[in-house]
Amino acid sequence: MVNGWIILDKPHGLGSTQGVAAVKRNLRQAGFGKVKVGHGGTLDPLATGVLPIAVGEATKLAGRMLDASKEYAFTIRFGAETDTLDLEGKVIATSDVWPSLEEIAAVLPRFTGPIEQVPPAYSAILIDGERAYDRARAGEAVEMKSRSVTIHSLQVASASAGEVTLIAHVSKGTYIRSLARDVAQALGTVGHVTMLRRLRAGPFGLAEAISLDKLNDVGKGAPLEHVLLPLQAGLVDIPALDLTPEQARAVRQGRVLDGLPHDDGLYWVRSGLVPVALVQLSGSVLTVARGFNLPDVAE
């Protein structure tokens, strides 16, 4: 059994589903057979950086990873807006206004905290069962509804003539391309994204990420443990509870445990070093949210 996380430093031009396919292919070539694989948050092909890929039982946590906050570095080039809000699109608006670094820094607090944001027309959002980007590519005028997102922090990383690189820590559902568009417009100009790199997704950062070449080495015989993180690596943001063998058996059977002296909230429980389940504790009563089918070390 193969269970855990492979954190890919996704290269430019590779889609998220292609990243998942690369993991599947390499595991198959390494002799692990058919393994369930999924990703924890889409990255545009033009973007690079942290793409968490869940393997085996870790796929039960992919939904949590989608809901996790993300951190990005991105560059806005001022003077032109494209229909895709990035380098791929055609220019639809221009401006000869070039904001200063002081003006950029002064406007960023307006985009920090809860904000309303209109997603790009070239996005994977479903509109009447069809992807927005399919409608946009067909020449349709796509009307996108605004959504509430949270920008936890937004700061200048560097600046040069006509462009600025920002670091943003954002909630789920945030579109960096829209953020770049809105920052440029607030500065009295237009702009588009020329570089987008995800620095962190939930608990995973670039320090844990591996290159596509290192992933491909697994298919050529390199040890899987050099690239595979344990399932519990995706749970470091919530507390763990230790169970006795009897309690672990009860939880694996989906039974409710009572009389646990812990605060209400979300926990993960383990038997020794083995994750047993993601659980909810309420009024000292433990109920199973997601169970993990992992063998005990002794088995």
The DSSP code sequence of 210-256 is B-HHHHHHHHTT--GGGTPBPGGGGGTTS-EEE--HHHHHHHHTT--
The neighbouring-strand residues paired with 237 are none
Residue 140 pLDDT > 50, yes or no? yes
299 pLDDT band (50/70/90 cuts)? very low
pTM recorded for the entire structure: 0.91
Residue % of the chain over a pLDDT of 90: 77
Q: How far is CA 95 from the centre of its chain?
A: 33
Decide: residue 33, CB within 10 A, 0-12 exposed, 13-18 middle, 19+ buried.
exposed
The whole-angstrom separation of Cα 261 and Cα 281 is: 10
Residue 297 pLDDT > 70, yes or no? no
Q: Is the four-CA dihedral 227, 232, 235, 237 of positive or negative sign?
A: negative
Per-residue pLDDT at 135: 85
Residue 124 pLDDT > 80, yes or no? no
Average pLDDT over residues 206-220: 97
Reply yes or no on whether 44 is catalytic.
Answer: yes
Residue 230 pLDDT > 90, yes or no? yes
The whole-angstrom separation of Cα 208 and Cα 61 is: 18
Here the tokens at position 277 are 């389940």
The whole-angstrom separation of Cα 233 and Cα 202 is: 10
Q: What are the residues whose beta carbons fall under 8 Å from the beta carbon of 182, sequence distance 6 or more?
A: 111, 117
CA atoms within 13 A on the CB side of 92: 12
Residues across the chain: 299
